[in-house]
Amino acid sequence: MWPDQRLCDLFRVEHPIIQAPMMGSCTPELAGAVSNAGGLGSLGCGEKPATTIRAEAAAIRARTNRSFNLNFFIIQQEKTDPRVLEAARKRLQPWYDDLGLGDPPSELPPPGRGFDEERLEVVLSVRPRVVSFHFGHPEASHVEAMKAAGIVLVSSATSVAEARVLEAAGMDAVIAQGWEAGGHRGSHKPTAPGDGVGTMALVPQIVDAVSVPVIAAGGIGDGRGIAAAMALGASGVQMGTAFLSCPEAATEPARRERLRQATDRDTMVTDAFSGRSARAMRSRYAEEMERAREALPPFPQMYALSGPIRNAAGDSEASFFLYGQAAALSKEMAAGDLVARLVKEAREVMGYLSRR
């Protein structure tokens, strides 16, 4: 059926196609539709309150009795160096002045909670088939508790070394997230925006380095990309940008329009919105911050400084619209139809290649 069935067996799904968790962009409708079509639907839980996570997980279960994935961030409890904050405030003051926003905040909110005891409790009571992480892995006692509950654990690596760390920490599969990917880079420590390995180079090296199944992510926009990922040794794929145009996604109308006109050069990697490198639409703000790079407050505290600019300036000047380099391949179709189309296309390509 697929060249490597390991991921399908692990996740208990028909197709090794994961709809990426996307904070703010995925909905229970999207996840439910993907799971019903035989893929793995995901929900980005990020910093959502426990009650919201429980309600959204219940909404997925109301739509499907198949496997789904809940996704969480691993956040280092870093405090902002007061000198870095002062320099960043100074740097952003002209933007605040131009937009009539007063002064940038002089105090930042505490760092996010990441994956704590409360979230562990939510996961253990919801018991999704799969839980995935971004920016690292949970502590050993949490890994043990989830595995004892029969939950399959997955996390992202942006390098071979990170993939090895994830395997050693007990992850059941590793996502190899290449440079092309939309959204935050899942590196375990903050990296410079210019620093990344492309999917084509990363996937086979991670496949050679670990024995758990590898999931390719980044720049996979259609069945050709899926077949290519399999050729590189991946057991499956995780696709985010491709699902942003589905009617079930929470993508705003103006952003859907932007995706309709997307090109290969639309996006750039910047840490100037959240404090961590993420691939998002090019904007004057991101380009200006990139030209004169300076240390910025860490993720997610930087949001408190960039948020007012983003809200006041709008998408054309300071958009934090996350999408990847293959956005132009996106199709506007229902998520279930998209999964069926991806499966058909991938099989056609694999069949064609094996007949040559």
Alpha-carbon separation of residue 243 from 38, 281, 322, 338 (angstroms): 15, 16, 12, 8
Helix (H, G, I), strand (E, B) or coil at 1: coil
Counting every residue, how long is the chain? 356
Nearest to 131 by CA among 221, 18, 260: 18
Nearer to ligand FMN, 17 or 220 (CB): 220
CB of 330 to ligand FMN, least distance (A): 10
- Partnered with residue 236 across adjacent β-strands are 215
CB of 16 to ligand FMN, least distance (A): 15
CB of 35 to ligand FMN, least distance (A): 16
- Which residues of the chain form contacts with ligand FMN (CB under 6 A)? 20-23, 25, 44, 46, 71, 134, 156, 177, 180-183, 217-220, 238-242, 322-324, 326
- Partnered with residue 18 across adjacent β-strands are 40, 238
CB of 21 to ligand FMN, least distance (A): 4
Q: Which tokens go with 20?
A: 């990426």
Nearer to ligand FMN, 20 or 350 (CB): 20
Alpha-carbon separation of residue 139 from 39, 123, 274 (angstroms): 28, 15, 24
Nearer to ligand FMN, 88 or 270 (CB): 270
Nearer to ligand FMN, 104 or 306 (CB): 306
CB of 237 to ligand FMN, least distance (A): 8
Q: Which residue is nearest to ligand FMN (CB)?
A: 240
CB of 59 to ligand FMN, least distance (A): 18
Nearer to ligand FMN, 197 or 220 (CB): 220
Backbone φ and ψ of 233, nearest 5°:
105, 0
Nearer to ligand FMN, 33 or 239 (CB): 239
Q: Which tokens go with 226?
A: 């899926």
Q: What is the dihedral of CA 272, 276, 281, 285, to 10 degrees?
A: 0
